[in-house]
Amino acid sequence: MSLTLPSLDYSLSPRTGFTRAHWAAVADQLLLALRPFFSPGRARVRLPGRTSSSGHDSDELEGFARSLLLVGFRIAGEQGADPHGFLDWYRAGLIAGTDPQSPERWPTPGELGQAKVEAASLALVLELTRPWLWDTLAPDEQRNVVAWFETAVGGWYPRNNWVWFRAVVETFVAAEGGRIEASDITAALDFHEACAREGGWYSDSDEMRAFDYYSGWAMQFYPFVWAAQPGAAPFDPGARLPLWRARLADYLDDYVRLIGGDGMPVLQGRSLIYRFAAAAPLWAGAAHDATRLDPGLVRRAASGMLQAFLDHGAVSESGLLTMGLTREWPQLAQTYSGPASPYWASKGFYGLVLPATHPVWTAVEQPLPVELSDERRAVVAPGWAVSGTAADGIVRIVNHGTDHEVPGSADADSPLYARLGYSSATMTLVTDAALEAQTDQLATVLDAAGRVASRAGFEPLGVADGEVAATAASRAHAHWVDIDRTQRDHGSGYSGEVTWGPTLTVASAVRGAWEVRALRLDGPSEGAVAFRVSGWPVGADAWADGLWSELVPLAGCGDAAVERVRVAGQSPLVDVVEVPQLTVPIGGAGTGGLLVVAVGLGRAPETAPTTVVTGSTVAIGWGDGAQSELVVPA
């Protein structure tokens, strides 16, 4: 089915036409479309599609819990008004799912790891809708819910955003007089601090360079909803909130510059099937006094995301969120994802907790930064040089700091993290075949068999924004990995038998649609026979129409010519992509000379930069007449 929406309101929302009424209409129709897939007792949502690594029981609980988030935001924002009867529908499922004698009972958090995640959504909504849901349960029904939650207490949780799931659940249980371990909550708070990074960012790990949308829809979201729980009082959330607010405000200053003019966020990192969950930190900033962004800009950014995904096919003809990014494309999902996993997109509707009178709904939409002028920014924590161009609305990041690995790792590159470039208009190639035959956004070496070396575990060498261009650099001990295919895909690179190669330093300068990329082999070639450099993957279907992707040899490339490699079936956006690629023979031991190319992506034509190389310094003449230097670190 197609969604039925109110008329677009371009007086209040001159960019998107979307208002609170549009958000509410989308939320209601997504929820109503799920009803045919509920079990008779309404505790489980049985959607078609592949089963996750956690099994059917987990997937069916996931469908209930993640869609309940959407119910919770709707009901809380409407102060209990419920014309579609969502509360009655989900109340029945909650009672059946937590009744140990019910044929539809859910696996407990003590029995199944994934239930620990879904428990947090249940606890969050029970708090948000307390007068209209929790307080209407009979005492024995409340005891069943608490007992179900209590199975999570003291259990093992991975050291990532999951620690917040435990904190939210146990804090709810504490308020109801249930059994908790206070150390679980203090450990979550301590871990959260250990993940804090420069500029208000959080890594989704206290060890790995794990920068992605979990920084916003988890690490910047759950602390605020946790702090609002009555059971949090003994842990003095008020003392922590000023710091958390300041961090989120700083983060959102970067974040809003990672959204393209068409509303698409930069497409990087795992769990992209959650789609407009990426709007969650924008709403959290507005809801918790933790943003410097104009309320009209908050809504424009969030509505742009929702509109972009809806326009590009995120909702199926039957009204379901599909497993994919735009269209249905299950290959994008990690092994932990099942058919209901996309409903964590519900987090993107957090703004609905704010009443219709809130400034975020009443202010006139303001344009995104990239809609006003060209944007360039150095984002230090993830090591990204960001460039957005107003002419085409595309935002690009050149990545010299993120790989979802620990320093010195010898894993294979994860396409979702370790590529040199990501954008709001393109998507890296992500199938199993793409792991072996890496194609897009490379600056690496090949061995005699033609295998592409990985750079995971590289050393970041800094990112900065100058008056003319942003610059960044990294150094990697290149390595080839014979991947062990028995591993589950959780977003990181696969491990396997490693063959070490040479050390390679890569530096980038970014301005407008272009990146000047310089490579230097530091020492002997160590089994490498050629350099491989490649650019942006673009397709030719309607969604990507008009994009151009170029790679221009500038220095040290000899007579090597650029090829345009066509790859089918590896992109969630388009059926066939083309990637410009350059292969340059090394010719023996490294000499310390530079190989320099220009890598471009855009819709509006721009003149390619020119360069003059002196030692380790690249003098750059940009197409608009500006000049700058790129120094490749020693």
Hey, what are 363's tokens?
């202010």
Same domain, 365 and 420: no
Q: Report whether pLDDT(588) > 70.
A: no
In order, the DSSP letters of 185-234 are HHHHHHHHHHTB-GGG-B-SSSSS---STHIIIIITTHHHHHHTSGGGGG
**E-strand spans in 297-403?**
375-379, 384-389, 394-399
Among 36-40, 329-333, 522-526, the range with the most confident prediction by mean pLDDT is 36-40
CA–CA separation, 374 vs 376, rounded Å? 7
Q: Report whether pLDDT(63) > 70.
A: yes
Hey, what are 186's tokens?
């203090």
Q: Say whether 295 sits in a helix, a strand or coil.
A: helix
The answer to whether position 34 is within a domain reads: yes
CATH code: domain of residue 301: 1.50.10.20
Same domain, 487 and 363: no
Taking Cα atoms as reference points, which of 28, 405, 370, 495 lies closest to residue 208? 405
CA–CA separation, 347 vs 191, rounded Å? 23
Same domain, 124 and 242: yes
Q: Give me the pLDDT at residue 433, please.
A: 80
The answer to whether position 612 is within a domain reads: no
Same domain, 287 and 420: no
Whether the CB-CB separation of 404 and 451 falls below 8 Å is answered with no
Q: pLDDT-derived band of residue 493, with 50, 70 and 90 as boundaries?
A: confident
pLDDT digits (tens, 9 = 90+) for 345-380: 999 999 999 999 999 999 999 999 999 999 999 999
Same domain, 37 and 89: yes
Radius of gyration of the chain measured on its C-alpha atoms: 25
pLDDT digits (tens, 9 = 90+) for 92-137: 999 999 999 999 999 999 999 999 999 999 999 999 999 999 999 9
Hey, what are 448's tokens?
């005699």
Q: Say whether 2 sits in a helix, a strand or coil.
A: coil
pLDDT above 90 coverage of the chain, percent: 92
Q: Report whether pLDDT(591) > 50.
A: no
Burial 200-212 (b: 16+ CB within 10 A, else e): bbbbbbbebbbbb
How would you classify residue 563: left for phi > 0, otherwise alpha for psi between -120 and 50, otherwise beta?
A: beta
The answer to whether position 1 is within a domain reads: no
Q: Report whether pLDDT(8) > 90.
A: yes
> Looking at 370, 389, 423, which one is the last position of a domain?
370
The answer to whether position 63 is within a domain reads: yes
Q: H or E stretch including 13?
A: none
Q: Give me the pLDDT at residue 544, please.
A: 56
CATH code: domain of residue 404: 2.70.98
Once rounded to an integer, what is the mean pLDDT over residues 75-86?
A: 98
Residue at 201: amino acid letter: W
Range of the domain at 74: 20-370
Burial of 468 (0-12, 13-18, 19+ CB in 10 A): middle
Same domain, 535 and 396: yes
CA–CA separation, 598 vs 623, rounded Å? 11
Q: Report whether pLDDT(589) > 50.
A: no
Same domain, 206 and 334: yes
The answer to whether position 631 is within a domain reads: no
Question: Whole-model pTM?
Answer: 0.97
Whether the CB-CB separation of 482 and 390 falls below 8 Å is answered with no
Same domain, 441 and 333: no
Same domain, 115 and 93: yes
Whether the CB-CB separation of 145 and 169 falls below 8 Å is answered with no
Q: Give me the pLDDT at residue 28, please.
A: 98
The answer to whether position 614 is within a domain reads: no
CA–CA separation, 420 vs 473, rounded Å? 10
Same domain, 366 and 415: no
Q: Give me the pLDDT at residue 546, please.
A: 84
pLDDT digits (tens, 9 = 90+) for 607-617: 999 999 999 99
- Give the position of tokens 């390595």: 479
> Looking at 316, 343, 370, which one is the last position of a domain?
370
Q: Give me the pLDDT at residue 164, please.
A: 98
In order, the DSSP letters of 407-418 are TT--PPPPTTTS
pLDDT digits (tens, 9 = 90+) for 420-467: 999 999 999 998 887 778 999 999 999 999 999 999 999 999 999 999
Domain count, the chain: 2
Hey, what are 449's tokens?
């068999």
The answer to whether position 288 is within a domain reads: yes
pLDDT digits (tens, 9 = 90+) for 277-332: 999 999 999 999 999 999 999 999 999 999 999 999 999 999 999 999 999 999 99
Once rounded to an integer, what is the mean pLDDT over residues 576-584?
A: 96
Q: Give me the pLDDT at residue 374, please.
A: 97
The answer to whether position 378 is within a domain reads: yes
Q: Report whether pLDDT(485) > 80.
A: no
Q: Say whether 307 sits in a helix, a strand or coil.
A: helix
Q: Give me the pLDDT at residue 526, please.
A: 94
**Residues 123, 137, 183, 119, CA torsion sign:** negative
Q: Report whether pLDDT(543) > 70.
A: no
Same domain, 507 and 530: yes
Hey, what are 554's tokens?
């500038």
> Looking at 352, 370, 388, which one is the last position of a domain?
370
Hey, what are 122's tokens?
């249940």
Q: pLDDT-derived band of residue 492, with 50, 70 and 90 as boundaries?
A: confident
Burial of 548 (0-12, 13-18, 19+ CB in 10 A): middle
Q: Give me the pLDDT at residue 604, please.
A: 82
The mean of the pLDDT values for the chain is: 95
Q: Report whether pLDDT(542) > 60.
A: no
Same domain, 238 and 311: yes
**Which residues, in sequence order, are bridge partners of residue 459?**
475
